[in-house]
Structure 1
Amino acid sequence: MTSERRALVVRGGWAGHEPVKATDLFIPYLRDQGFVVEVAESPARYADAEFMAATDLVLQCMTMATISGEEVAGLVAAVAAGTGLAGWHGGIADAYRASADYLQLVGGQFAAHAARCGPGERTGDQSDNYVPHRIVMTPAAAEHPITAGLADFDLDTEQYWVLTDDHNDVLATTTTAQRPWAAWQRPVTCPAVWTRQWGRGRVFVATPGHTVEVLRDENVRTIVERGLLWASR
């Protein structure tokens, strides 16, 4: 067991991402790695500078939702000072859409996920957006502690199209195919796993993770577990 560290799990927002069940998959792992874990149902803790200074890792699973100026400023300051920030899917890449400061910190924002069939064939449930796709490792992945030893792998779930910037270190990508009914005319490749150095802090994002079942995939779970440890102070 490692020496004691502190982790804050912030979860909530859109219920479809099962924030409680999803984070409950990883809280025992964090405790096994020596973390004392606190769970919060809102980002209010981010505004507590003393608490955040003593926090080594934030695991955030908060899809959409809102954040105050004080809360986002507290999170940004904490990461810049060394607190790690990590998460998956909409819990980190589709949180606090109205906050430019948050989006700059994370380095990416969900834009869309392609449908698996044309408009006339859709049922209206979440599975309309489950598409077979491949997560492809970049050359940098071979040497990175989050992805070392992992090969490309396939998923059948939501495939995130994200808007990102080149301050990210991209470890894996995924390519959204062109579809006859869609407005884009060629395949679009986006980061699927990336890291980001922000001041003295580290940020880790993985876009797979729409459901608990996806997070239980051996490759996805390995990437998330390693990403949590990598991001931590």
Structure 2
Amino acid sequence: MTPTALVVRGGWDGHEPVAATELFLPFLRDHGYDVRVEGSTDVYADADAMAATDLIVQSVTMSEISSEQLAGLMAAVEAGTGLTGWHGGIADSFRASSDYLQLVGGQFATHPGREPERRVGDQTDNYLPYTVEITDLGREHPITAGLESFDLDTEQYWVLHDDLIDVLATTTHPSQPWQPWHRPVTSPVVWTRSWGAGRIVVSTPGHSVEVLKNASVRTIVERGMLWATRTA
């Protein structure tokens, strides 16, 4: 049977939700998915549409979600619909919804900046060189198996999370003289989560289309879409 993918995009324009999701539409179609694209979360409240969806690819940074939409999303995932996304489109969505945060298992807290004297007043102030470290679990998991740890120069997400997530990759925020924390802090970069019959995959790199085109990042996102898709 043909798998169905629902791409939901919107929210803050700075994360280029349209251009970013367009990057992955050919991959989905090439892998046989029937793809539906929506520009709002209204579709989450459509029970029939959600029941017929095998995979949700969400790119909605910040924004708000109604109780009916959230209930529809949570019910779909619990019943087996996969949910995946990258960067703020999934890990910084619907900040006011504690139930959404519990569903996803991790929430953007900050992206530390450069030294104050190097800041120029634009988004590059938050671009740092950092390493994505594949974990022992990640070396065996279908999403990240065969990938080596890799370097990026972009926003390095500091994530608040719980221990119901399975972490496939991490990054470590160093303790710097201009920052208020006093020891290095390790955050998950790629994780999976089982919720009812559904699978969730979150990848925190993806601030820009350029980052999503990085070979390792793109591989993780694409494999994550396949792995999260309804299996029953």
TM-score category of the 2 structures, normalised to the smaller one:
over 0.9
How far residue 116 of structure 1 moved from its aligned partner, in angstroms, is 1.4
> How many pairs align?
230
Q: 1:40 aligns with which of 38, 58, 77?
A: 38
Match of 2:80 among 60, 82, 98: 82
For 1:174 and 1:145, the matched residues in 2 are separated by 20
- TM-score, normalised with respect to structure 2: 0.98
**Residue 9 of structure 1 aligns to which amino acid in structure 2?**
V
State the 1:121 CA deviation: 3.5
**Aligned-partner residue type, residue 213 of structure 2:** R
Q: CA deviation at 1:177?
A: 1.1
- Per the TM alignment, residue 124 of structure 1 is displaced from its structure 2 partner at its CA by 1.3
Letter in 2 for 1:21: A
Q: Which moved more, 1:181-190 or 1:194-203?
A: 181-190
> Cα RMSD over matched residues?
0.7
1:15-45 C-alpha deviation (Å, 9 max, x unpaired)? 1101000000001100111111111111110
State the 4+ residue runs in structure 1 displaced beyond 3 angstroms: none
Q: Distance between the aligned counterparts of 2:17 and 2:167, measured in 1? A: 25
2:55 maps to which of 54, 57, 62: 57
Partner of 1:70 in structure 2? 68
Q: Secondary structure at the match of 2:77?
A: helix
Aligned pairs for 1:58-207 within 5 A: 58-118=56-116, 120-207=117-204
Partner of 2:209: 212
Identity of aligned residues (%): 65
Could you tell me how far apart the structure 1 residues matched to 2:74 and 2:17 are? 22
Partner amino acid for 1:122?
R
The 2-side partners of 1:35 and 1:182 are apart by: 46
User: 1:229 corresponds to which residue?
Assistant: 226
Deviation digits for residues 139-172 of structure 1 (CA, Å, limit 9, x no counterpart): 0011110000001000000000000000000000
The whole-number CA distance in structure 1 between the counterparts of 2:115 and 2:25 is 36
Counterpart code for 2:53: T
Whole-Å separation in 2 of the counterparts to 1:160 and 1:91: 13
Letter of the 1:90 counterpart = G
How many Å apart are 1:89 and its aligned residue? 0.3
Q: Which runs of 5+ in 1 are unaligned?
A: none
Cα distance in 2 for partners of 1:10, 1:50 equals 16
2:197 maps to a residue whose letter is R
Find the aligned partners of 1:124 and 1:69 in 2 and give their Cα distance: 37
Give 1:29's match in structure 2, choosing from 20, 27, 30: 27
Q: Provide the TM-score with structure 1 as the length reference.
A: 0.97
5+ residue gaps, structure 2, are none
The secondary structure found in structure 2 opposite 1:185 is coil
Q: C-alpha separation between the residues in 1 aligned to 2:175 and 2:19?
A: 33
